[in-house]
């Protein structure tokens, strides 16, 4: 989960998504976040403009990418078209080139928004995941993080840990 990319006016939707998954009160997020970005590189610039006592890193969240690219279709976990995957892939490559540590997605039904819906990307088809993995690799070295739906993720894919096909 994360806060970029975000279409202007959709910030509250991302807050409700984060509130549901991470159990962070929406009021704390609403009062604590000063929005000033749309793209992931702009988000990193906003983080970079602040002073922290610790190192901070960020991954590009699949849910935000899907919602940004596909609108309500992405938020409702509808299948991505080839054009959707191409548009999401551009965002993934751009984010990694800008400094994202990687890309994160979730297959677990335990990750739900405040309205009870599974997070965007939960049911993404392999062509979407593989396309985004290739886009991540095109942007440079990064981590593809996947929260699986239990142990069956490994056996159902028929692949070992390098299942995305982009690793070295």
> Structure tokens of 22?
């991470």
Q: What number is the average pLDDT over the span 7-33?
A: 94
Q: Mean pLDDT across the stretch 145-168?
A: 61
Instruction: Give the mean pLDDT of 10-39.
Output: 94
Burial category of 78 from C-beta neighbours within 10 Å (exposed 0-12, middle 13-18, buried 19 and up): middle
Q: Residue 114 pLDDT more than 50? A: yes
- Per the CB < 8 A criterion, the answer to whether 107 and 144 are in contact is no
Contact criterion met (CB below 8 Å) for 107 and 153? yes
> Where residue 168 falls among pLDDT bands split at 50, 70, 90?
very low
- Apex 115 CA angle, 114 and 119, nearest 5: 75
Residue 63 to residues 58, 79, 152, Cα–Cα distance (Å)? 14, 13, 22
Mean pLDDT of 123-139: 96
Residue 155 pLDDT class (50, 70, 90 cuts): low
CATH superfamily assigned to domain 10-147: Metal-dependent hydrolases (3.20.20.140)
Residues in the chain: 168
């Amino acid at each position: 989960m994360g806060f970029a990319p975000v279409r202007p006016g959709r910030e509250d939707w991302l807050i409700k998504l984060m509130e549901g998954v991470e159990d962070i009160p929406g009021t704390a997020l609403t009062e604590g976040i000063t929005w000033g970005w749309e793209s992931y590189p702009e988000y990193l610039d906003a983080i970079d403009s602040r002073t922290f006592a610790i190192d901070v890193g960020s991954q590009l969240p699949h849910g935000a990418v899907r919602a940004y690219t596909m609108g309500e279709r992405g938020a409702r976990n509808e299948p991505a078209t080839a054009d959707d995957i191409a548009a999401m892939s551009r965002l993934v490559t751009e984010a990694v080139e800008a400094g994202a540590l990687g890309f994160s997605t979730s297959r677990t039904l335990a990750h739900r928004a405040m309205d009870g819906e599974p997070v965007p990307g939960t049911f993404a088809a392999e062509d979407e995941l593989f396309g985004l993995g290739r886009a991540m690799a095109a942007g440079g070295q990064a981590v593809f993080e996947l929260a699986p739906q239990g142990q069956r993720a490994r056996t159902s894919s028929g692949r070992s840990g390098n299942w995305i096909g982009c690793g070295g």
